[in-house]
């Protein structure tokens, strides 16, 4: 079977909802022993029930990725691992002069320190295991100027830089590290964002956001999961230190 993850233990942060849940579900389908790490007990429970119902091997861990002590304890409970997907993250709308210090710090704690904490906890395990694969969830915001996304863009730029650093530093340990940069993906977060910020105009604004991708629509969580599956599989064993746009042509075709 192509892209088999049989015998592999995979940790997916933020794996309880949206893109993370799609990755967790697909990895379990491909035979991985999936460990979902998420701050939301409700999301982890729902994801567990969904994956277990179809016979997948799944375990859930409630964890705040901004707390290194919590992260280390969680990874110690998980044990040896083969795959880490750093997917946990939050969004923010604001420019440099409209982003409060508290909001800036919150974005950095989750989207940058959270990634670092999970790298810090997982790399020794991957090294002792003889290697493994890391996927960091970046964003097109790391590469292009998006309006009103100052702190988010800064954080995702850091994720991209960390990806390259880790890929370089652990070549000799047979640890591959790549990042994925999606454009807009239709998740429950998008629906909640539209309801909160554009009441009564949800469908109108949804169409506007969808058409900002040259392909004419948003991506789906399943499409991001399929790319992640390829990158962690043995079929991608020659790939490290790269960022993968999955953006409906947004970066290259928006002139």
Catalytic residue among 152, 170, 230, 244: 152
Nearest in space to 234 (alpha carbons), one of 174, 181, 171: 174
For the residues 77-89, what does the mean pLDDT come to? 98
Contact 81, 9 (CB under 8 A): yes
Q: Which residues contact 116 (CB under 8 A, 6 or more apart)?
A: 162
Q: Residue 197: its pLDDT value, please? A: 81
Q: How far is CA 151 from the centre of its chain?
A: 17
In the predicted structure, residue 17 carries a pLDDT above the cut 80: yes
| Average pLDDT score over the chain | 96
Please tell me the total number of residues recorded for the chain in this structure. Answer: 255
Q: Residue 117: its pLDDT value, please? A: 98
For the residues 39-51, what does the mean pLDDT come to? 95
The hierarchical CATH code for the domain 9-183+221-247 is: 3.40.50.720
Contact 35, 13 (CB under 8 A): no
Provide the β-strand partners of residue 243. Answer: 179
Q: Residue 62: its pLDDT value, please? A: 97
Q: Residue 188: its pLDDT value, please? A: 86
Q: How many helices (H) and strands (E) does the chain have?
A: 10, 7
CA atoms within 13 A on the CB side of 137: 28
Nearest in space to 37 (alpha carbons), one of 110, 86, 81, 79: 86
Task: Judge residue 51's burial from the number of C-beta atoms within 10 Å of its C-beta, 0-12 exposed, 13-18 middle, 19 or more buried.
Answer: buried
In the predicted structure, residue 247 carries a pLDDT above the cut 70: yes
- Measure Cα distances from 215 to 94, 229, 248 in Å: 26, 23, 5
Q: Could you give the CA distance from residue 74 to residue 62 in angstroms, rounded to a whole number?
A: 8
Q: Could you give the CA distance from residue 216 to residue 158 in angstroms, rounded to a whole number?
A: 29
In the predicted structure, residue 255 carries a pLDDT above the cut 70: no
Is the entire prediction scored with pTM above 0.85? yes
In the predicted structure, residue 192 carries a pLDDT above the cut 80: yes
Q: Could you give the CA distance from residue 213 to residue 208 in angstroms, rounded to a whole number?
A: 9
Q: Residue 217: its pLDDT value, please? A: 97
Residue that is written with structure tokens 């988010």 in the block: 152
Kindly report the three-state secondary structure assignment for every residue of 117-179: HHHHHHHHHHHHCCCEEEEEECCHHHCCCCCCEHHHHHHHHHHHHHHHHHHHHCHHHCEEEEE
Strand, coil or helix: what is 99? Answer: coil
Q: Residue 254: its pLDDT value, please? A: 85
Nearest in space to 66 (alpha carbons), one of 41, 99, 35, 39: 39
For the residues 128-149, what does the mean pLDDT come to? 96
Give residue limits of the domains in the chain.
9-183+221-247, 187-218
Is residue 116 part of the annotated active site? The answer reads: no
Q: Residue 210: its pLDDT value, please? A: 95
């Amino acid at each position: 079977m192509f892209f088999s993850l049989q015998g592999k233990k995979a940790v997916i942060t933020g794996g309880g909802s949206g893109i993370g849940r799609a990755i967790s579900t697909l990895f379990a389908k491909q035979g991985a022993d999936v460990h979902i790490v998420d701050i939301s007990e409700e999301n982890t429970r729902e994801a567990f029930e969904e994956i277990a119902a179809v016979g997948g091997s799944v375990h859930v861990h409630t964890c705040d990725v901004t707390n290194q002590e919590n992260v280390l304890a969680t990874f110690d409970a998980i044990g040896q691992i083969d795959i880490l997907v750093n997917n946990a993250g939050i969004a923010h709308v604001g420019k440099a002069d409209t982003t409060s210090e508290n909001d800036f710090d919150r974005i950095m704690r989750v989207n940058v320190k959270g990634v670092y904490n999970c790298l810090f906890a997982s790399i020794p395990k991957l090294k002792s295991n003889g290697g493994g694969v890391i996927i960091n969830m970046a964003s097109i915001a790391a590469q292009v100027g998006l309006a009103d996304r100052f702190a988010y863009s800064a954080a995702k730029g850091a994720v991209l830089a960390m990806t390259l650093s880790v890929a370089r530093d652990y070549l000799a340990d047979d640890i591959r590290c790549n990042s994925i940069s999606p454009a807009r993906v239709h998740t429950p977060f998008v629906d909640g964002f539209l309801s909160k910020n554009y009441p009564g105009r949800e469908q109108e604004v949804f169409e506007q956001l969808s058409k900002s991708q040259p392909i004419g629509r948003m991506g789906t969580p399943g499409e991001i999961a399929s790319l992640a599956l390829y990158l962690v599989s043995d079929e991608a064993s020659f790939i490290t230190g790269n960022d993968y746009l999955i953006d409906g042509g947004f970066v290259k075709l928006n002139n």
